[in-house]
Structure 1
Amino acid sequence: MTSDIDKKEIESILIIRLSAIGDVIRVLPSLGLLRKRFPMAKISWVVEEAASDILGGMGEIDEIIVFPKKRILRKLGRPWTFFGAVGEFVKFSKELRRSSFDVALDYHGLLKSGLISFFSGAPVRLGFAKGFSKELNHLFNNRKIKLPVPKLSRITRNLLLTEGLTGVDGVPEIHIGTTPEDRKVVDIIEAEYLSGERPRIVVHPSTSPRTPYKRWGAERYAALSDILVSRLKAEVIITFGPGEEDTAREVRDGMKHGATILDRPMRLRELAELYRRSDVYVGGDTGPMHIASFVGTPVVAIFGPTDPIENEPYVKTPFVMIRRPTDCSPCRKKGCTRGDCFEGITPEEVADEVIRLLGGYRKAIAYGI
């Protein structure tokens, strides 16, 4: 695959992964591999606005290009502005072409990312082969990567695409970067809300409003948090994203003990910094789970209908995935109201895994418990 690519001539690289937050994060090992192999190249990343914040502290990236998805969709939604949407995309494509990219890597594998790759003007465009991408994406890329098996972790899948350019090089160590402003925000939170003298456990009980089927349940998270306070004297912090406030408050209000909950959703890099300073993260298969994993914080991930192979956390960070296999899981059915795959996962079991990741009671003793 790489034999016809003159790597010495690669000076400008375009990464295409537009969304979602967790999927963008899982391209970071590939970013690390590209930067290692091409230390002097300019690396640009096309991403949608919602996920762009998490990339802002990454020194490996030279340029973040925000794809104007919202503007395009608004105009596509009205017949009389349809050609305006086309014009927006043409304008965006012309700006991309001015960068004269040598290589584009399409990690997204959909029609929209294929169009961006094609119209970027990059002479070498790597993407997934037919059967491993969707919406005719394979037609727009001229270096097609076939995967050895259909089901792989997203991180491994992305690395295999990257190795079509770099050659085989393993899984690199890379972490989400934050800025002085992000660290200052968390400094203020620590000074106002947290003691820093007890095990700090982050609980992220919700998911985006579009994925309620991935939620373990506020009542269970409340019971778990109470167990952690009782057994470890833990400092429990409940985090949430936009539209998830009600679930976070439901967890706090259902607890017998106290927990810290902020009065607003944190920005993605602020979450990353808060998680970096915490001892263990507990939550479902969400973007914040991957954020915690990519700042080096041990993760207890509670899986229901989503695939634990495809969605496993970063292997360089300790993690435990808890799930109950059922005949119908993984299914990813958005309308499922049964929740069979969550039945039998108890707060006590999850608490045991948190304690194990903390290093057992030896670390608890270090906190004076």
Structure 2
Amino acid sequence: MRPPERILIIGLSNAGDAVLMSPVIARLHRAYPKAEMTLAVGERAEPLFVGDPRIGRVVIMEEFQGLLGRLRLVGLVWRLRPTLLVDLRQTLLPVIWKPWRLWRYVWPVPAASHMRDRHVLRLRAQGSGLRALAEPIDGPPIWISPEASASIAQLLKRIPLKADRRIVVLCPGARSHIKRWAAERFAALADRLITDAQVEVVLTGSPEEAPIVREVMEAMSQRAHSLAGRTSLTQLAALMQRADAVVTNDSASLHLACAVGTPVVAIFGPTDPRKYGPTGLRDRVIRRRLFCSPCEQALFRFSRVCMRCVSVDEESEAARQILQKSSKFEVRSSKPDTPAPHR
């Protein structure tokens, strides 16, 4: 089969989902660096790919909503005439474009597999015959510009951080409130890490999550630093690269940290870590196995019992283990104030 010259990727809408699909872009670019690649993603995901040298053009999926929008999308496909159409949204475009290849787009994917792996499996099925797509990639699947790395370095200098201390990034936000660990527990965790592990704590979040970060900092007794609303997605990824550990809810921040290879302590409640959780050897997932979990439907949406059952002690111990393995510095163990709930 001839290498594709023009590739169209129908991607996903949210930032976290876009990070999970980034290995698809990395594999395609590594296999076919000369191919002209067009990516269609949601407005929230677009900033992650603007300026990415692997991608020739980024279009926003919201522009193709409604009947007229769908007709414009069909027109875009007709003008691009892609040699390879990668559809990660499972739309009807493959039926319209080349219906005789439809079997590639309905290939079954294991239900319990990780979302990142699902996207790669779909790529391999839809690009059937392109053997180069089967090879694993090296390095982060997302692109971080030198400018983003430099701006984060300057931002951290202005805070300033103590040069001899490690950095732990806390991400208390999430788009859905039912996936958020309590702000006061993030505050208690941050205080304990600063006191026991002698680290610099940096809190991050989107502009919409800035009030949550502010609530965490107001509940703290120790001094931390906030970059909430002050970083782009690529700058946040650059910050994650510089961190020694990240503690986060199930959110885009989790997937960014995993993409750049920084050890993660991930707090899970209603969602399934088998599909969305970290997979690194040093990563930790803290959750409660209740009769209803993972519900993915927020059965206890008002009480968030699965999130309330996760203790500060568990999070602190998981972070302490990561820091001990990643550094020569001593980490003092803190005696738990209260016993952790049974799993």
In the superposition, the TM-score normalised over structure 1's length comes to 0.80
Q: Does 1:40 align with 2:34?
A: yes
Q: Distance in 2 between matches of 1:124 and 1:44?
A: 23
Match of 2:275 in 1: 310
Match of 1:331 in 2: 295
C-alpha change, 1:227 and 1:240, in structure 2 (3 Å) is: same
- Deviation sequence 1:233-291 (CA, Å, 0-9, x none): 11111111132111111110111101101363421111111111111111111011101
Q: Is the 8 A contact 2:8 2:85 kept in 1?
A: yes
Identity within the alignment, %? 28
Cα offset, 1:46, TM superposition:
0.8
C-alpha change, 1:316 and 1:36, in structure 2 (3 Å) is: farther
How many residues align structurally? 324
**Equivalent position amino acid for 2:113 in 1:** L
C-alpha change, 1:97 and 1:251, in structure 2 (3 Å) is: same
Q: Distance in 2 between matches of 1:42 and 1:238?
A: 38
Question: Of residues 85, 110, 113 in structure 2, which corresponds to 1:152?
Answer: 113
Q: Does 1:10 align with 2:4?
A: yes
Match of 1:102 in 2: 83
1:120-199 paired onto structure 2 within 5 Å: 121=97, 141-147=102-108, 149-164=110-125, 165=127, 166-167=130-131, 169=134, 171-175=136-140, 176-195=142-161, 196-199=163-166
- Deviation sequence 1:270-328 (CA, Å, 0-9, x none): 11111111111111110111011111211111101100101023x46742111111100
Q: Distance in 2 between matches of 1:95 and 1:178?
A: 28
- Deviation sequence 1:151-209 (CA, Å, 0-9, x none): 2100111111122224473542342222233234313311210323211010000112x
C-alpha change, 1:124 and 1:232, in structure 2 (3 Å) is: farther
SS in 2 for 1:50: coil
Q: Does 1:320 align with 2:284?
A: yes
Match of 1:76 in 2: none
Q: Distance in 1 between matches of 2:262 and 2:137?
A: 17
Cα offset, 1:117, TM superposition:
4.7
Q: Distance in 1 between matches of 2:237 and 2:327?
A: 27
Match of 1:130 in 2: none
Cα offset, 1:50, TM superposition:
1.4
Question: Of residues 216, 219, 222 in structure 2, which corresponds to 1:251?
Answer: 216
Q: Distance in 2 between matches of 1:116 and 1:66?
A: 16
Q: Is the 8 A contact 1:100 1:122 kept in 2?
A: no
Q: Does 1:201 align with 2:162?
A: no
Cα offset, 1:115, TM superposition:
4.0
**Equivalent position amino acid for 2:292 in 1:** C
Match of 1:266 in 2: 231
Cα offset, 1:72, TM superposition:
5.6
C-alpha change, 1:148 and 1:107, in structure 2 (3 Å) is: closer
C-alpha change, 1:204 and 1:263, in structure 2 (3 Å) is: closer
C-alpha change, 1:226 and 1:359, in structure 2 (3 Å) is: same
Match of 2:336 in 1: none
- Deviation sequence 1:97-150 (CA, Å, 0-9, x none): 2121011111123xxxx145556x46786xxxxxxxxxxxxxxx4523433532
Cα offset, 1:89, TM superposition:
3.6
In the superposition, the TM-score normalised over structure 2's length comes to 0.86
Q: Distance in 2 between matches of 1:229 and 1:159?
A: 39
C-alpha change, 1:148 and 1:25, in structure 2 (3 Å) is: closer
**Equivalent position amino acid for 2:149 in 1:** R
Q: Is the 8 A contact 2:169 2:240 kept in 1?
A: yes
SS in 2 for 1:310: helix
C-alpha change, 1:21 and 1:241, in structure 2 (3 Å) is: same
Q: Distance in 2 between matches of 1:149 and 1:219?
A: 38
SS in 2 for 1:104: strand
Q: Distance in 1 between matches of 2:147 and 2:326?
A: 35
**Equivalent position amino acid for 2:288 in 1:** R
Match of 1:63 in 2: 57
- Deviation sequence 1:22-81 (CA, Å, 0-9, x none): 1111112222222233333222211122101112354433332222x1x565xxxxxxxx
SS in 2 for 1:352: helix
Match of 1:232 in 2: 197
Q: Is the 8 A contact 1:324 1:345 kept in 2?
A: yes
C-alpha change, 1:93 and 1:147, in structure 2 (3 Å) is: closer
Cα RMSD of the aligned pairs, angstroms, is 2.5
Q: Distance in 2 between matches of 1:263 and 1:220?
A: 18
Deviates more, 1:233-242 or 1:162-171: 162-171
Q: Distance in 1 between matches of 2:228 and 2:286?
A: 30
**Equivalent position amino acid for 1:320 in 2:** R
Q: Is the 8 A contact 1:29 1:174 kept in 2?
A: no
SS in 1 for 2:240: helix
Q: Distance in 1 between matches of 2:150 and 2:100?
A: 42
Q: Distance in 2 between matches of 1:352 and 1:286?
A: 21
